[in-house]
Amino acid sequence: MALRLKQKMMVLPVVAAAFLVAIVAVTVALGSRTRAASERIGSSLAPSVSQAQTSRAGFAALHQDVGDAVSLHAVKQQTLDAQVAELNKGLAALRALPDVDGPKLEALQGAFARYWQEASQVVALAARSDAAAEAALGKLEPAYRAVHEGLESVTAQQEASQREAFMEVSSLHGTTLTWVLVLSLGCILALAVATVWLLREVTAPLARLTATATRIVREGNLSLAIDTSSQDEVGELARSIQTLMTRLGSVPNTLHAVVTELTAAAARLNAASHEQLNFLTSQSRSLTEASSTIAEIAQTSGMAASRAEMVLKVAAQADAYSASGQVSIERSAEGLQQIRARVGALVGSIGVLSEQAVHAGEIIGSVKDLADQSNVLALNAAIEAARAGEEGRGFAVVAKEMRALSSQSLQSTQRIGKILLEINQAIRETVGIAEGDSQKMEEGIEQVLASATTLKDITQVVQESSQAARQIVASVTQQNAGITQMTEVVTQLSEMMSDVVMATSNAEQAVGQINTSLGKLQELSTAFRV
């Protein structure tokens, strides 16, 4: 099973902790045994050896005092009794220790009791200065040797036990040191092996990965091989970097292709912008000329309005003459002659007005064609702006406004054309009426004296003509207002065209900036080697 990076990094602490636990366990186990042996020496063996040696020395001193009492005839009974009591107490204490041979101590106490019993008799003889004291002292020698040998044996036995205990403590201490040394060496060896393993499994892959990443950053070479054999986090990092390099490897090619396409598109856009600028400049000049033409149309429309006013005045005069004719038949003929002359003038003026209306219709047709061309121009501008993308957004707004203005101009032209059509129809009706009236007036002049009824009919016809003249004046006034509005529209369209020309020039400059940026992207795309 493959270990993760965190598990690999825990190998050294785990190995060190395991050996540390083993060292502590061995130290505690052997230390408890060493401590038990040391406590045995301190609490039992050392006191027993000391007590045995003290008892042996005390017994030798007691026997010496007994000999002195016999030889010097000076018995110190209290001193002897104190020494005996001290020896008995020492033997009892020695017997109470756990590591002392109890039966041997019991036999030793019995031998000491017999010795003191015989020694008491010797002391008593010496106190009486009895000559038998010397002989009794000689007989006391076997009892003395028995006690002395017993004390020697006990002392030797306790000293031997103490030496064995010291040897055991020394052995346990040596064993502890040996185990600690072995475990320490094992720990060092295991840590060294684990360190080498970590260097091979963790540090070396990381070093290779770091060196590869450094070369990629320094050289920009995305074709370098990366070791991805590790199954831990280092391997995952290496595989992630390998995937990143693969994906980054496709970026320069894609970027180069995109930059090439964008460069070509920018060149086409630059050419189209240049052509569009020339075309818009030409259209701007055309709009200027159209504005001049519209001004002339407005002037002509004003003249037509003035003439329509004249027609209205003539109609009013004709109406007055008709009224006079009803009062005086004699003066009616003259008045009718004047009416005929004025009707002829009216017909001529209406003919001129008809020609002006036709001319205005032709101008309206030209304006309609101009509006259609502006609409097509705005549509082309919108298409070019859509091709330009984000940089042509402002150009698209201008194109949209141009299309809106073109639509408004077209609608206004249609309304003016409809008005002119109505004016032409009214003029034709007026001409027809005027011509009919002229014929009737000529017939009426011949019959004026014969029929007053005919005069009344003529008066009615003149009144109708006056009404038609008023309608003509109103139509011409509306036409004049429409032409004025059309003049304003053309002026606004000319201004908008100037703005479009400026925007197109700015777009051409933006295309130049795009070409500069594409050059930088081209340099960036060649900075990597795939």
Q: Residue 344 falls within a domain, yes or no? A: yes
Long-range CB contacts (< 8 A, 24+ apart) of 415-420? 415/482, 416/364, 416/479, 416/482, 416/483, 416/486, 417/361, 417/364, 417/365, 417/368, 419/475, 419/478, 419/479, 419/482, 420/357, 420/360, 420/361, 420/364, 420/479
Residue pair 267/512 in contact by the 8 Å Cβ criterion: no
CA distance 283 to 125: 170
pLDDT beyond 70 at 462? no
201 and 274 fall within a common domain = no
- 244 Ramachandran zone, left/alpha/beta (phi>0; psi -120 to 50): alpha
329 and 200 fall within a common domain = no
Q: Residue 499 falls within a domain, yes or no? A: yes
pLDDT beyond 60 at 311? no
pLDDT (0 to 100) of residue 351 = 72
pLDDT (0 to 100) of residue 357 = 67
Q: Residue 223 falls within a domain, yes or no? A: no
Of 182, 211, 240, which marks where a domain is finished? 211
DSSP 388-416: HGGGGHHHHHHHHHHHHHHHHHHHHHHHH
- 380 pLDDT band (50/70/90 cuts)? confident
Per-residue pLDDT, averaged over 202-227, amounts to 77
170 and 92 fall within a common domain = yes
336 and 474 fall within a common domain = yes
141 and 277 fall within a common domain = no
Residues 6+ apart with CB under 8 A from 277: 501, 504, 505, 508
For residue 351, which amino acid is it?
A: G
The CA-CA-CA angle for residues 268, 274, 277, to 5°, reads: 135
Q: How is residue 45 annotated by DSSP?
A: I
Looking up tokens 């259209």 gives 283
Per-residue pLDDT, averaged over 158-170, amounts to 90
38 and 110 fall within a common domain = yes
Convert 279-321 into a string of H (helix), E (strand) and C (coil): HHHHHHHHHHHHHHHHHHHHHHHHHHHHHHHHHHHHHHHHHHH
pLDDT beyond 80 at 304? no
pLDDT (0 to 100) of residue 110 = 92
pLDDT digits (tens, 9 = 90+) for 264-289: 776 777 777 677 667 667 766 766 77
Distances (CA, A) of 48 to 38, 147, 159, 505, 506: 14, 17, 9, 122, 119
Per-residue pLDDT, averaged over 362-368, amounts to 74
Gap between the terminal Cα atoms of the chain: 36
DSSP 74-107: ---HHHHHHHHHHHHHHHHHHHHSTTS-HHHHHH
Residue pair 158/99 in contact by the 8 Å Cβ criterion: yes
What are the b/e assignments for 51-82, b being 16+ CB within 10 Å? bbebbbebbeebbebbbebbeeeebeeeebee
Per-residue pLDDT, averaged over 231-242, amounts to 74
204 and 273 fall within a common domain = no
Q: Residue 246 falls within a domain, yes or no? A: no
Per-residue pLDDT, averaged over 319-326, amounts to 65
Per-residue pLDDT, averaged over 106-117, amounts to 91
| Nearest to 442, CA basis, from 313, 308, 364, 339 | 339
| Nearest to 397, CA basis, from 260, 288, 504 | 504
Residue pair 343/430 in contact by the 8 Å Cβ criterion: no
pLDDT digits (tens, 9 = 90+) for 393-450: 776 777 677 778 778 777 877 787 787 788 778 767 776 776 776 677 677 667 656 7
Q: Residue 525 falls within a domain, yes or no? A: no
pLDDT beyond 70 at 294? no
pLDDT (0 to 100) of residue 325 = 59
Range of the domain at 472: 267-516
pLDDT digits (tens, 9 = 90+) for 488-509: 766 776 677 677 667 777 767 8
Across 142-151, 234-243, 415-424, the highest mean pLDDT is recorded for 142-151
Per-residue pLDDT, averaged over 34-54, amounts to 86
Per-residue pLDDT, averaged over 460-471, amounts to 66
Q: How is residue 131 annotated by DSSP?
A: T
409 and 499 fall within a common domain = yes
Helices 393-447 + 452-525 axis angle, to 10: 170
pLDDT beyond 60 at 485? yes
32 and 169 fall within a common domain = yes
pLDDT beyond 90 at 95? no
> In this structure, what CATH number is given to the domain that contains residue 315?
1.10.287
For residue 511, which amino acid is it?
A: V
The residue among 101 and 283 whose pLDDT is bigger is 101
Per-residue pLDDT, averaged over 9-31, amounts to 88
Question: Exposure of 523 by Cβ count < 10 A (0-12 exposed, 13-18 middle, 19+ buried)?
Answer: exposed
The residue among 430 and 115 whose pLDDT is bigger is 115
Q: Residue 509 falls within a domain, yes or no? A: yes
205 and 306 fall within a common domain = no
Residues 6+ apart with CB under 8 A from 506: 394
Of 171, 186, 211, which marks where a domain is finished? 211
For residue 431, which amino acid is it?
A: V
281 and 384 fall within a common domain = yes
pLDDT beyond 70 at 82? yes
Of 165, 184, 211, which marks where a domain is finished? 211
pLDDT beyond 90 at 167? yes
The number of distinct structural domains making up the chain is: 2
Residues 6+ apart with CB under 8 A from 158: 45, 48, 49, 52, 99, 100
Tokens of 249: 């490897």
pLDDT beyond 60 at 9? yes
Tokens of 146: 């028995």
pLDDT (0 to 100) of residue 489 = 66
Average pLDDT, the chain: 77
pLDDT digits (tens, 9 = 90+) for 27-42: 999 888 888 888 888 8
Q: Residue 224 falls within a domain, yes or no? A: no
Per-residue pLDDT, averaged over 176-197, amounts to 91
Name 529's bridge partners.
221
Q: How is residue 527 annotated by DSSP?
A: T
CA 265 to chain centre: 33
> In this structure, what CATH number is given to the domain that contains residue 205?
1.20.120.1730
Tokens of 335: 């008045």
Q: Residue 65 falls within a domain, yes or no? A: yes
31 and 146 fall within a common domain = yes
